[in-house]
């Protein structure tokens, strides 16, 4: 797939990896619909940046764990552009949830955003792509879905489920739609990460450094441009999953 002129919907695009991916698509000539939830200021800053680059992007708020919001997000993209060739599911929540204090509300929130949301979006957008006869879906998983983290149990379960969803949809939507995932490792640690936790993360990475958004962008562009890769979960983690 040549990304020039294609229409992409990117969830969780206001910050961090979602922002980097939205910018990378726009730089390669794609039109971008950016979704955000609580980060309105950052979303509109990104929207202005994309417009200055010459595109006609839109920004749509919503909670991806709610079917009505997902319908509205997808409909806004379709009204603006008439088609969707690329879906990137990047919206996620991530916070520590020790098992002893894990609540039902925590479970529902993390699984709702990280797994139910991508399912709803893949279902709606996948149907559009099937009618179009083409499309690419890219899910942002995590090595935490392969190597379960006890202190982040709902998060790991959600990302393991997202990997399974990716592989199942690769078969269900074939041959018209390719569905792949990226599983980042330690990339863009939270800003409040204590120095000792950062040091522990570095010690677990065989390549000896944290990843960068550019590492994820390069992997995403490869999967989106390829026409003979589907059901793949590409780890971009410096070898962290091996330790």
- Residue pair 111/152 in contact by the 8 Å Cβ criterion: no
Q: Of 95, 152, 155, 222, which one is the catalytic site residue?
A: 155
Write the DSSP string, 194-231: -HHHHHHHHHT-TTSS-B-HHHHHHHHHHHHH-SS--S
CA–CA distance, 217 with 60 (Å, rounded to integer) = 22
Q: What angle do CA 44, 40, 65 make, to 5 degrees?
A: 125
Assess whether 36 carries a catalytic annotation: no
Exposure of 199 by Cβ count < 10 A (0-12 exposed, 13-18 middle, 19+ buried)?
exposed
Which residue's structure tokens are 């090595």? 143
CA–CA distance, 4 with 1 (Å, rounded to integer) = 9
Of 181, 179, 192, the residue nearest 159 (C-alpha) = 181
User: Which residues are registered as beta bridge partners of 184?
Assistant: 236
List residues with catalytic annotation: 155
């Amino acid at each position: 797939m040549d990304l020039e002129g294609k229409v992409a919907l990117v969830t969780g695009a206001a910050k961090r990896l979602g922002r980097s991916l939205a910018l990378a698509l726009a730089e390669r000539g794609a039109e971008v619909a950016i979704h955000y939830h609580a980060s309105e200021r950052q979303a509109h800053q990104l929207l202005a940046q994309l417009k200055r680059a010459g595109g006609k992007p839109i920004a749509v708020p919503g909670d991806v764990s709610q079917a009505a919001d997902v319908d509205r997000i997808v409909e806004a993209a379709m009204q603006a552009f008439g088609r969707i060739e690329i879906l990137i599911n990047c919206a996620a929540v991530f916070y520590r949830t020790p098992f002893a204090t894990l609540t039902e509300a925590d479970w529902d929130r993390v699984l709702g955003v990280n797994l139910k949301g991508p399912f709803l979006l893949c279902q709606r957008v996948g149907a559009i792509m099937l009618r179009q006869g083409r499309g690419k879906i890219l899910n942002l998983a995590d090595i935490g879905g392969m190597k379960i983290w006890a202190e982040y149990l709902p998060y790991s379960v959600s990302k393991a489920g997202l990997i399974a969803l990716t592989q199942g949809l690769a078969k269900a939507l074939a041959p018209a739609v390719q569905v792949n995932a990226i599983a980042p490792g330690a990339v863009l640690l939270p800003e409040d990460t204590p120095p000792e936790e950062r040091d522990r993360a570095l010690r677990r990475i065989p390549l000896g450094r944290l990843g960068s958004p550019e590492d994820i962008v390069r992997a995403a562009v490869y999967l989106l441009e390829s026409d003979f890769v589907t059901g793949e979960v590409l780890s971009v983690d410096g070898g962290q999953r091996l330790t």
